[in-house]
Every structure is written in structure tokens, then in C-alpha cells.
Amino acid sequence: MKIIKLLSLLFAFIFFTSCDNDDDNPDVINEEETITTIRVTLTDPESNVITLQSQDLDGDGPNAPEITVSGNLAGNTTYSGTVEFLNETESPAENITEEVNEEADEHQVIYSTSGSIQSLTTTDVDGNGDDLGLSFNMITNTAGDATITLTLRHEPTKPNDGTLSGAGGETDATATFSVLITE
Amino acid sequence: MRYLLFVITFCLSAIYVYSQNCTAILLGEVVDFHDNTPLKNAVIVVTGKNLKTSSDEFGKFTFKNLCEVVIELEISHPECTSQFVTISIEGNTYQKISLEHHLEELDEVKVVGKTVKQTNSAQEVSLNIETIEKYSSATLGDALNEIAGVSTLSTGANIVKPAIHGLNGSRVLMLNNGVRMQDMEWGDEHAPNVDLNSAGSVSVIKGAAALQYGGDAIGGVIVLDQAPFVRIDSLYGKTILNGISNGRGGSASTELVRTYENGFYVKGQASFKRLGDREAPDYVLSNTGVQEIGASLALGKNLFEWGWHFNYSYYQAELAILRSSHVGNNDDLINAINSQEPLVINPFTHEIENPRQEVSHHLAKLEVYKRFEGLGKLKVQYDFQSNNRFEFDIRRGVADNQAALDLNLTTHTLASDFKWDANQDFELQTGLMLRYQNNFADPATGIRRLIPDYDKYDFGGFITSEYSLSDAVVLDAGLRYDFSQVDAKKFYQSSRWEERGYDQEFQDLVIEEVGNQILVNPDFTYHNFSGALGLQYTDYKSSVFRANYALAQRAPNPAELFSDGLHQSASRIELGDLRLTSETSHKISLSAEGNYKNWGYTFEPYLNMISDFMFLEPTGVEFTIRGAFPVWEYRQTKAQLLGLDVNVYTKPHQNWNSNHSFSIVKGKDVTQDAPLINIPSANIKNSVTFNKLKWKDLELKLISDYVFEQNEVLDNFTVFSPEQQEEVLLEINSAPASYHLLGFFAKTSFNLGKKTKLRSSITVNNLLNTQYRNYLNRQRYFADDLGRNIMLQLKLNY
């Protein structure tokens, strides 16, 4: 009986000391790797700039990305384009494009277009000479509707044929922009 | 309040009666369980009293001058396994003892062996030590899969969760050495953190009837126990080595036991397993390796009157997750499902890369028991568990080496129970349990917590009884109450908090707002009641009939309450619900069992009706910057599971036997008149065995395993594919086709000296290298299941 009493006291001690409950609140986590914003900048030969943006500030929260296009594109024009990936939950916003650039061989931006766009060709390469896609040239057709879809893929098969199915890997960010091309 | 309960726990049985009157005579009779014929030359020992005798040619034996107390007899017979019987001496006492005379024979025939039954009337099956050893290099889930009515929910070949009668996770309790495992069993891709090699026996109780273990075992209970330690001076052990072709690796397990006549024992055990990438018939399953380490130490003193057991075990596993199963968004998932082959196939390697899991589990237990003469046995147990889980995803840059999930779950449990067995015909057991649990989610992951920090308090009390109406009829009844409180601190995204409508209902839980996140303090309590009622009828010849009703209630687990966000490995957004209430199950199970000279059977139908059944189902699609994701929400419904397990064995010739089992379960969402998700399909297992003791104990066995297609599945649904700019059918609920696998097993034994015995065996799984996918393997979307696997095993007993 003595042993049991002794042990019960010991257990009680362990049990109740372990219940010490400090009221510290947990630290908030702001996900640093989150991409909240895709920003495409299109510049025509006269240095007019059109911005296409997809912004999703609540990440995997319920709100869908907000898509904005700053203006219409001109027909039969060659635009030089760049794309930026940002994390705007941080202040100042974190530029994820730099990380993509640092690990260029593990990333690729893949484009597809429809409607009044004649061609879109990427103009940059990673350290191995394979396509990267952070900058591109795009030639518009005559007036009409068009869409531009871009997808940032992580760990794609490189080199590839420039299509999503050819690239494989996982999607880190994607957006489809509808644009209007005027004369 | 807590302190009061604590005091009650110990005071409950601190008073005992002491009687001393030592003139009683015990007259006993030892008979064969099957045909009641007397067994002579059985040795009967009164344990702890140094009294010994043997039965005469009529099976009779006598002890004189016994005190009027409860004694324990150990009865051994050359052709039977030893049996312990507790008897209360009240004047001159007569006791009949039935020994399972055919046991040795039967054990070879049936997959399952006989160990101590945990319940009187529930459906219950145990795996014998040979089966456990056969699966030495596999998982607990694989071993349990041998039992009709037990299936598995797996994520590849390494993460295998047992499911009983179609239910898994929090609905299946796991008792490891008397300790209820707290190893985050709520996750679909969280395998039990136990080393099968450390167990001496494994039994499965199909249902919630074993109230002493918990009231929430809506699926059932899995009990892993040590083999009993005999009170003799002895030193023994065994070592098992396995070589495995599929995965190009192996495992080793060894144990050493020292026992003493004074009841003291010590056992040490360790095992190690390492496998590289597994292979499907046509390709390498890239990144599916595994490394597992298990070690345990048990020591104690094992007397009839009193004793103690200390046990410590450690388990650590590093589990690679199929590379191709890590997908981005909906489109990636559609591509992965539509592709007939995995999207990533690399050359074979032993390396374990991301995505992967790293889990470890520490378990320590101290148990003390004392038997009070004329009353019963009091047991007090404290156990400590620490469970740590890292999950690594494929991430950018340095974050690749940083776990995406890092949870630490610490549990302390104090329990005591008292078994009143002074009366021969009536047994009463009562107990109390106190538990404290803390979960800490390390913010260093840089990813919002999947499961928040929480403290959980549990209190439970039960009373169960067994009453022998006659030699043939035993009744049982029990009641249990469980209180549980979970006090969590969780960050929600403001947008999610509002979208869920929590701002209307739970705004008072908000502590503070930080940026676009809200810190809340859900503090919920649940009161659960459970009960069981049953009867067992034994026909003296050979058959047993059991009927059991069990009521069980289960409080929502942390995943069901708090899940919130993108689950990368499943490519879906999972949303818990703060409004969930406890689910209630009513289960009726029947069991008819017959054991005859050349054959035997069990026939076990059951019906489980569950109200407020919590489950996860797809409800829609949400768009994020990574693309579209299916949303899966926890919901409650009225569910019904109707099933049947049948097992038949035959022994037409002394060298030949066969085993046949069939199990089916139909799961239904009664409210929506729809099938339930993740219900195992029907399956038939057959095996034919040839064995001959004279030929070095040779055994040859051919195994056939036929799994039907699950034809009752939820409808698929369409989602918008940005890539294809149209609605696309997401075939996420379709079930794979039926399949048939053949297996082969052969073993033989050699004596290497007086005490040393070597057994070698070869097991071939998927003999014909058949391509197949299993409905309950979460990687069925991405790749075929394992191809042929040849395993060589050497076992040395010494």
C-alpha cells in the first residue's frame, strides 16, 4: 500500500505540474513564400505601359484573385513584357521574382494566348540555356479580344516544348488576363 | 474539481476485507474443451503458494488446507497451452477446467490464434505470433489486413492505417501495452507510430464494446500486448532478419528476455528497417523509400499478489511520399489523374527526398497492481507520450529544408481500475482516467498552422460487469462517461472567418486582430456517454454464439474542428467546422463460431448506425493565385454501415488445410441517400497450405486475394480548368477496377543445438506482377500499386 501511495503522490505531482498553463498567445505566421500578386508589364515601342495584375491577398482564403488590366492594347504592335511575382502580405512587399531568378533552373513561366495575338516568345534563359520566361516579346494582331494565360511552374522538366503538359512540375502561380486590342 | 476526482480514483478501493480460514478443499477436474473427455497428467500449480499436483486418469485433482481467498491456478498439459484460472475458495470448492486440447493443431489451421479475450460478447480476433513475425518487415496495417473485416487506408506502401468495419483514424483506438496511443491518428496520412516487432500479440475488437479502453471506439480497438513473462529462471530471445526485393532493402529485429523465478523480468528489443524506392510492375515509384527505427525496454515484477511493469518504447520513421502525388492546383491534379503513368519517374534510389514525413514517438508507462484477498485487483497506471511530426513539402529555396508542418503532441495519462473478481460468477470492473494533452505547432515552419496550439483535458469513468448465468451463458453490461475539453488558440484569415459565418456566431472568441488574421480562442467541452450490453452462449461441444450492442460517442478531433487551408499533399482546401458536435454510434453485432474436427467457421454480421457522423466531402471550388482547388468540408450526417465477415477453415487431411474469408461492408449516407466515401470494397481471401512436421516442419502456402471494385462511390464533379478554359470532369471519386493477387509462402525450420532453432521462410507478394490500384490507397490517382515483392526471412530462436 505504501508504494501505491507514494507513487500516486508522484503521479499527482507530474500530472498537475504539467498542467501549468501559461496564457501566452501563439505567434502569428505570415507566409513568406506566398505569392499574392502577379504583375505583367507590357511596354510598346513608344514606351507606353500597360499593366496586367492578378492579386489575391488572402492566399488560400476564400476570396478569389482580383484581376485588373490598366488599358487596351494597340493592334499590330510588338510589346516587350516582363513579369513580377510579389508577396504583398509583407510590408514592403517581398519580390519573389528574385527567388525565381536565383533558382532559374527550377522554374519556368509558361504562356499561352488566344484571340488576336500573333505570337508570344520568351526572351530569357536560365543558367543551362533553357527557357525561363520572366521576359518576353508579344506581337498583337488586328483589333479583337484576346487572352493571355501565364503559369509559373516549380520543378518543371527542362528543356520542354513550352506547353504546360510538356513542362510538368507544379503550379506556383497562374493567371488568365482578358484584354481588348484596338486599332 | 480535478483534485477531487483524483482522490476518488485512489480511494475507490483502498478498503479491503481480510479473511483467514484455511481448511478448505479444492476439487478440480480438467477436461478437453471440445468433447469434455478427462485429461490426465495435467500439471496444476497454485501460483505464488508453492503447491503443485497433477490430474489423475479421470482428470481429477485435489488441493487441501486452502485458505478462503482468491487463488490463481496455472494448468499445463503437454498437448495444450498453459492456462491461468482464478478461483475464489469458499468452503470446499469444485472447479471444472476446460483446456483447448486441439490448440496446437488449430493454430496451424487458422490465421488467428487465441489469446485472452478482451470482451465477452464482441466480435474479436487476434493475430498469433507467427503472423506477427511474418509481417516483421511490413506495417501493422498490413498484418491486420489478414483479418476479415479489417482493411487499410493507405498513402503508398509505407503509410498504412488500419480500418475496422470500414472506419479508421479517430474511430479506431490503439492500445500499445495498455497505453492508448496519442499519435495524431486524426490524419488520413498519419500511420500508427508503433513497431509491430515489439508486440507479442495483437487483437482486434470490432466495435466499441471494450469500454475500459475508451468510449469513442466507433470503429473498434486494436490491442498490442507483450507476451506474458513466465516466473522461471530463463534467458531467451529471437532475431529476425528480412531481405526485401521490392525496395531493395531489408529489416532486422532482435529481442532478449531475462526472467527470474521471483517474478522479475527484463526485456530489450530493437528493430531497424530501410527500403529504397518501391516498384510498380512497369516503373519505379520515385521517392517511396522508408527508414524505421524501433526500440523498447520492459521490466517489472510479475507476481500474483502484486507487481509492477515499466515500459519505454521509441519509434522513429522517415517516410518518403511519392513525388508524383505532390501536385499544384486543380489542373495539375487533372493532368495527374488523366496520365496513366506517374508524371515523375526517376531511376531507383535509396534516397528519401521531399515530400516526406519524419515522425517520432516516445512512450513511457508505469503500472502498479495489487490484489486484495477476497476482493479483487487494483491497478494504477501513469503514461507519458511525446509525438513529434515533421512534414516536408517541395518548397522554394532554403525553405525546402524547413518542415511545412511541425507538431509536437504531449500527453500525460493517469488511470486506475479495480477488478472485483471474488465471486466466481460475477465480475465487476470499474475505473477512472485523467488525461492532459498539449499540442504545439512550431511557427518556424513559416506556413500557417494546419492544427493550432491547444490544451486538451479528458476525464473518463467506467463500470463493466460480467455475469455467468450458467456454464453456457455469460452476460455482460457496461457504462462509461467521458468529459473532454479542448482549449485552442488559432489564427484565422479574416476573410475565412467571415466566409464561414463565424463572425456571426463566434465573435466572442476573438482575442486580437493581427494584419489580415484573427486570433481566436475556441474553448469547447463535450460530454459523451457510452455503453455495452451483450451475451455469449457456448455450446459445450464446439460452438459459440455472441450478441452485442454498443453505444459510443466521439467528440470531434482537432482536424475536424480546426482544419483550415490548403492541404498540399491532397491538392485540396480542407475546412473544419467549429460547430461540430459529438457523433453517436449504435452498433449491433452478432457472431456465430463453430470449431469441429475437420473444419470450423465464424459468421459475423453487424449494423452500425451513426448519427452526426463527421466526414470530409468535396463541396466546391475556390480560386487562388495558384489556380483552382477543390474545397472539402467537414459535414455531419446520419450514416449507416451494414456488413458481414465470414471465415471458414478446413483440414481435410493431416498435412493439408485451407482458409477462406469474405468481408463486405455497405456504407450509406442516410440523410442524402448516397454512398459514404472511402468504404472498403468486398474482398475474398483464400489460401491452401501443405505442412509436414517430419520434413523439417515444411510449410507451403498459396494465397489468393480477390478485391472487388467499389461500385458505390460518390459522383464525380466538374471544375473550371483555367488551363483548358472550360469545365472539366474531375474523376476524384471513381474507384479502380477489381483485381486478383496471388501470393506464395514457404517455410522450414532446423534445430541448431538444444535451445537454438532457425526458421527460414520466403514470402512472395503479387506473384504474377499484376498491375492494380486500390480504392483505399490515396495514391491511386497517381500510380499503380506495388509489383512483385520477394521477401526472405531468417528467424533465430535462442
Q: Which amino acid is at B4?
A: L
Distance CA B457, CA B461 (A): 14
Q: Which residues is B167 bridged to in the sheet?
A: B164
Phi-psi region of B311 (alpha: psi -120 to 50; beta: other; left: phi over 0): beta
Per-residue CA distances from A30 to A27, A55, A64, B516, B553 (Å): 10, 17, 19, 10, 38
Give the pLDDT of residue B322.
Answer: 93
Among B511, B626, B721, which would you mutate to test the A interface (most chain A Cβ atoms within 10 Å of its Cβ)? Answer: B626
Average pLDDT of chain B, as a whole number: 88
Nearest CA in chain B to A3: B368
Tell me if A174 and B626 make a contact (CB, 8 A cut-off). Answer: yes
Does B406 touch chain A if contact means CB atoms closer than 8 Å? no
Does B434 touch chain A if contact means CB atoms closer than 8 Å? yes
For the stretch B508-524, pLDDT in tens is 999 999 888 999 999 99
Among A1, A9, A23, A28, which would you mutate to test the B interface (most chain B Cβ atoms within 10 Å of its Cβ)? Answer: A28
Cis (ω within 30 of 0) for the bond into B162? no
Query: CA of A101 to nearest chain B CA: how many angstroms apart?
Result: 11
For residue B67 the three cell numbers come to 485458505
Tell me if A25 and B511 make a contact (CB, 8 A cut-off). Answer: yes
Point out the least confidently predicted range of B47-51, B258-262, B346-350, B430-434: B47-51
Does B573 touch chain A if contact means CB atoms closer than 8 Å? yes
B745 with B701: CB under 8 angstroms? yes
Query: CA of B62 to nearest chain A CA: how many angstroms apart?
Result: 33
For the stretch B69-125, pLDDT in tens is 778 888 877 666 667 777 878 788 888 887 765 443 333 334 443 445 778 888 888
Q: Is the pLDDT of residue B618 over 90?
A: no
Does A2 map to a domain? no
For residue B91 the three cell numbers come to 468452503
Give the pLDDT of residue B35.
Answer: 61
For residue B262 the three cell numbers come to 521471483
Query: CA of B29 to nearest chain A CA: how many angstroms apart?
Result: 36
Burial B335-347 (b: 16+ CB within 10 A, else e): bbbeeeebbbbee
Give the pLDDT of residue B46.
Answer: 84
Tell me if A172 and B626 make a contact (CB, 8 A cut-off). Answer: yes
Q: Residue A20, exposed/middle/buried by CB under 10 A (0-12, 13-18, 19+)? A: exposed
Point out the least confidently predicted range of A129-133, B289-293, B410-414, B595-599: B595-599
Among B310, B366, B402, B624, which would you mutate to test the A interface (most chain A Cβ atoms within 10 Å of its Cβ)? Answer: B624
For the stretch B306-315, pLDDT in tens is 999 999 999 9
Does B73 touch chain A if contact means CB atoms closer than 8 Å? no
Please tell me which of the candidates A31, A35, A103 has its beta carbon nearest to residue B447: A31
Does B328 touch chain A if contact means CB atoms closer than 8 Å? yes
Q: A2-17 and B2-11 helices cross at what angle (nearest 10)?
A: 160
pTM beyond 0.80? yes
For the stretch A104-158, pLDDT in tens is 999 999 999 999 999 999 999 999 999 999 999 999 998 899 999 999 998 898 8
What is the bridge-based pairing of β-strands B739-751 and B757-765?
antiparallel
Does A17 map to a domain? no
Identify the domain containing residue A155 by its residue range: 33-182
Chain B residues with CB under 8 Å of A63 CB are: 495
Residue B135, Cβ neighbours under 10 Å: how many?
Answer: 22
For the stretch B744-777, pLDDT in tens is 999 999 888 888 899 999 999 999 999 999 999 9
For the stretch B307-337, pLDDT in tens is 999 999 999 999 999 998 887 777 788 888 8
Residues 6+ apart with CB under 8 A from B178: B225, B365, B367, B381, B383
pLDDT grade for B728, boundaries at 50, 70 and 90: confident
Q: Is the pLDDT of residue B11 over 70?
A: no
For the stretch B693-704, pLDDT in tens is 889 989 999 999
Distance CA B638, CA B393 (A): 36
Please count the residues of chain A.
183
Q: Where are the beta strands (DSSP E) in B193-248?
A: 201-205, 220-225, 234-244
Does A12 map to a domain? no
Select from B524, B528, B484, B486 the least CA-distant residue to B218. B528
Residue owning grid cell 471513381: B734
CA B628 to chain centre: 37
Tell me if B626 and A171 make a contact (CB, 8 A cut-off). Answer: yes
Give the pLDDT of residue B34.
Answer: 55
Point out the least confidently predicted range of A9-23, A30-44, B1-15, B683-697: B1-15
For the stretch B524-568, pLDDT in tens is 999 999 999 999 998 866 789 999 999 999 999 999 999 988 876
Point out the least confidently predicted range of B28-42, B183-197, B265-279: B28-42
Please count the residues of chain B.
798
Does A28 map to a domain? no
Chain B residues with CB under 8 Å of A8 CB are: 10, 380
Residue owning grid cell 498435412: B655
Q: Return the higher-pLDDT residue of B424 and B753.
A: B753
Nearest CA in chain B to A173: B626
Assigned CATH for B223-797: 2.40.170.20
* CATH number, residue A52: 2.60.40
Chain B residues with CB under 8 Å of A94 CB are: none
Give the pLDDT of residue A23.
Answer: 60
Percent of the residues in chain B that have a pLDDT greater than 90, as a whole number: 62
Point out the least confidently predicted range of A75-84, B112-121, B575-584, B729-738: B112-121
Does B441 touch chain A if contact means CB atoms closer than 8 Å? yes
Select from B190, B221, B194 the least CA-distant residue to B559. B190
For the stretch B782-796, pLDDT in tens is 999 999 999 999 999
Q: Is the pLDDT of residue A16 over 80?
A: no
Run of H or E including B141: helix B140-144
Residue extents of the structural domains in chain B: 2-101, 223-797
B773 with B785: CB under 8 angstroms? yes
For residue B76 the three cell numbers come to 499445463
Please tell me which of the candidates A8, A33, A169 has its beta carbon nearest to residue B10: A8
Domain count for chain A: 1
pLDDT grade for B393, boundaries at 50, 70 and 90: confident
Chain A residues with CB under 8 Å of B343 CB are: 168
Q: Is the pLDDT of residue B8 over 50?
A: no
Residues 6+ apart with CB under 8 A from B67: B20, B21, B22, B24, B89
Level-2 CATH architecture, domain B2-101: Sandwich (2.60)
DSSP helix/strand/coil, B427: strand
Chain B residues with CB under 8 Å of A59 CB are: 493, 624-625
Does A7 map to a domain? no
Does A146 map to a domain? yes
B429 with B464: CB under 8 angstroms? yes
Tell me if A19 and B436 make a contact (CB, 8 A cut-off). Answer: yes
Does B670 touch chain A if contact means CB atoms closer than 8 Å? no
The complex scores an ipTM of: 0.83
Give the pLDDT of residue B163.
Answer: 96
Please tell me which of the candidates A11, A25, A60 has its beta carbon nearest to residue B519: A25
B206 with B122: CB under 8 angstroms? yes
Select from B364, B430, B3 the least CA-distant residue to A12. B3
What is the Cβ-side half-sphere exposure of residue B739, based on CA atoms within 13 angstroms? 18
Chain B residues with CB under 8 Å of A154 CB are: 328, 394, 396
Tell me if A58 and B452 make a contact (CB, 8 A cut-off). Answer: no
Query: CA of A15 to nearest chain B CA: how many angstroms apart?
Result: 7
For the stretch B371-386, pLDDT in tens is 887 788 999 999 999 9
Q: Is the pLDDT of residue B15 over 60?
A: no
Q: What is the mean pLDDT of residues B245-273?
A: 95
Does A175 map to a domain? yes
Q: In what order do the strands lie in the sheet with B51-54?
A: B51-54, B43-46, B70-77, B80-88
